[in-house]
Amino acid sequence: MNFLEVSQRFTEMSNTTKRLELTNILVRLLKSANKDLKKLVYLTQGKLLPDYEGLELGMASKLIIKALSSISGKKEEEIDALFIKEGDLGTVAKLISEKKTQNSLFSNELSVDYVYDELTKLARIKGEGSIKNKIGIYQDLLLNSTPDEGMYITRIITGRLRLGVSDATILDALVLAFAEKVHSEEIDEAYNFHPDLGEIAELLRDGKLSKVLETGPTPMVPAKVMLAERLPEIKDILEKMGGKAAFEYKYDGMRTQIHIKNGKVKIFSRGSEETTSNFPDIVEHALQNFNVESCILDGEAVPYNSETGELYPFQMVSQRRGRKYDLKSKVEEIPVVVFLFDILYLNGQALNKVPYLERRKILQSLFTENDDFKCATMLLSSDPEEINGFFNEAINSGCEGLVAKNVSDDSIYRAGARGWLWIKVKRDYQSAFEDTLDLVVIGAFGGHGRRKGTYGALLMASYNKDQDIFESACKLGTGFTDDVLFGLPSKLAEHKTNRKPARVESGLTPDVWFDPKVVLEIIGAEITVSPVHSCAFGKVEKGAGLAIRFPRFTGRWRDDKTAEDATSTEEILEMYYGQKKVG
């Protein structure tokens, strides 16, 4: 397939403001691929392989600028200035190649295969002379590109393709192109255990649906984590779970998925990002404590005081993430204990379909508790009073509340799904209308008066999982310190876009639109019906959506959540009905 065709489709995708149209263009694109489908899917994701393979393209802006300078004969300073003006090196590459002075001796038509293979070469180059070679490959690609092709190649290399498609959007398009809608839930589940869209695309296209559906948890491949629904009252949880449930402490730490295989350990975050290098202590302890050939464990890493055993707030583990330099001192200063609450795989056997209580028994029998690993404290009960007492103990031990787990035989591990098999109850929810939500920044309104020069308010959205769109739910203007407030424009600049992204819906038009990427924790007073917000539009009242009243930023940036992990529209709808019952 020609890369020119791909770049034309990419342009159409970037230009559309409608989710449906976006999917249709993707379907057309996927259908026109041949044996290069897998490569095409990765390129559409702006990647060369799934993230967990750890193949990063990474070419610094400085190198791109150098390459563009030598192609165009323009000074690096000039290109740098253009970069500052445009905010995107892809656009700069396009502008420059429109005025290209030098042409390659053999101007080839670029194919998907060729672009993918060259980019892979570029990513794999290491050692002496690597910078020169990387620049060389990039320049060759540019010299053989049309301006638009060059723009997309540059965006892929700099990790900023920004087509507005998520994995969910691509998966949806794959089902439409190569499978039947009735299988979409099962295909989704397979993807959640093995998030390799290229592989799934090829299998579906080749009619190997059954192979896709066999996919389960795989050691060293991050499974999307199972998530909990929420309810404000213990009696509601018991009712929902058939009168009895296992209640576990809800630890306030960092979700940690630990994979062990043949003496090697990998650790993944809630968002399937590999964090092994930030937790050398957990790696070492895992090998000491688990005498297994292979396994996948799920838990929460929590910082603690090694003298008193007291648990510390979550923020202290987050300091470990992305830290390269003084990690060693941090490991000593902030030891973590991992509270394990699930096991997905053991010694060649997938356990995701084994009921919760049995999984928990297997987990408990696998190791002896110590300062490094413990099982989440759990109470099996049907007595609301006893559970309330347990809830208070959890709070006193520094936990956020409880997570109830269904104890029926159907209580499987559902990767990536928020469902009623797990239900959380947090301290906040116990007071009538106080609730924390994780919402996505989709826009901003310019500030006035004291806020001149920054934003007056952000437009925040929930994620509608069914439709794969973001729906506005409030304007957020309070809870910001001055530092944070005045830092907002630069912090959000990289996500700015010049039109409403296709997967965003709002009755309001902000001064600036953002690609849905950044997640903030907010606390709201009440959920009300709103004529301007599109969250759960038409679900409660015709011609109206839902809005959060008096939203306030809690100060917590949810860097551990992707936009698709934000509070869902469905959750907000449930909270709306829940509060009506209380009120």
- Catalytic sites, residue numbers: 250
Q: Are 379 and 391 in contact (CB under 8 A)?
A: no
Q: What is the DSSP string of 159-192?
A: T----S--HHHHHHHHHHHHS-GGGHHHHHHHHH
Q: Which of residues 475-514 bind ligand AMP (CB under 6 A)?
A: none
**Residue positions counted in the chain:** 583
Quickly list DSSP for 10-43.
Answer: HHHHHH---HHHHHHHHHHHHHT--TTHHHHHHH
Residue 229 contacts ligand AMP per CB under 6 A: no
Only segment of 91-99, 203-211, 244-252, 366-374 that touches ligand AMP (CB under 6 A): 244-252
Q: Minimum Å distance from CB 273 to ligand AMP?
A: 14
Among 228, 350, 375, 523, binds ligand AMP (CB under 6 A): 228
- Is 379 or 547 the residue whose CB approaches ligand AMP more closely? 379
Counting contacts by CB under 6 A, is residue 250 touching ligand AMP? yes
**Collapsed DSSP state (helix, strand, coil) of residue 309:** coil
Near ligand AMP by CB under 6 A: residue from 191, 251, 314, 455:
251
- Please select the residue that binds ligand AMP; options are 403, 441, 442, 566, rule is CB under 6 A: 403
Give CA–CA dist 431/230, Å, rounded: 14
Closest CA to 536 of 500, 507, 565, 502: 507
Q: Does 522 bind ligand AMP (CB under 6 A)?
A: no
Is residue 413 close enough to count as binding ligand AMP by CB under 6 A? Answer: no
Counting contacts by CB under 6 A, is residue 224 touching ligand AMP? no
- Nearest Cα to 304, choosing from 338, 255, 257, 277? 338
Closer to ligand AMP by Cβ: residue 199 or 438:
438
> d(Cα 404, Cα 422) in Å, to the nearest integer?
6
Q: Among 73-81, 250-258, 356-364, 460-468, which window interacts with ligand AMP (CB under 6 A)?
A: 250-258
Torsions phi, psi of 349, nearest 5? -120, 125
* Nearest of 462, 501, 561 to residue 162 by alpha carbon: 501
| Residue closer to ligand AMP, measured from CB, 39 or 561 | 561
Q: Which pairing describes strands 401-405 and 496-497: parallel, antiparallel, or unpaired?
A: unpaired
Nearest Cα to Cα of residue 546 among 407, 468, 437: 437
Q: Decide: helix, strand or coil at residue 428.
A: helix
**Nearer Cβ to ligand AMP (60/380):** 380
The site map against ligand AMP for 319-358 (x = CB under 6 A) is ----------------------x-----------------
The answer to whether residue 376 forms part of the interface with ligand AMP (CB under 6 A) is yes
The amino acid sitting at 503 is R
Q: Is 255 in the site for ligand AMP (CB under 6 A)?
A: yes
Which residues between 415 and 434 bind ligand AMP (CB under 6 A)? 424
Does 270 engage in binding with ligand AMP (CB under 6 A)? yes
248 binds ligand AMP (CB under 6 A): yes
Q: Which CA distances in Å does 202 have to 48, 206, 212, 314?
A: 15, 6, 10, 41
Query: Binding pattern to ligand AMP, positions 286-305, x when CB under 6 A?
Result: --------------x-----
Piece in contact with ligand AMP (CB under 6 A), picked from 168-176, 242-250, 328-336, 451-459: 242-250
| Angle between helical axes of 3-15 and 37-44 (0-180°, round to 10) | 40
DSSP helix/strand/coil, 469: strand
As measured in angstroms, the least distance from the Cβ of 254 to ligand AMP is 7
- The distance of closest approach from Cβ of residue 301 to ligand AMP in the complex, given in angstroms and rounded to an integer, is 9
Binding-site ranges for ligand AMP (CB under 6 A): 225, 227-228, 248-251, 255, 270, 300, 341, 376, 403, 424
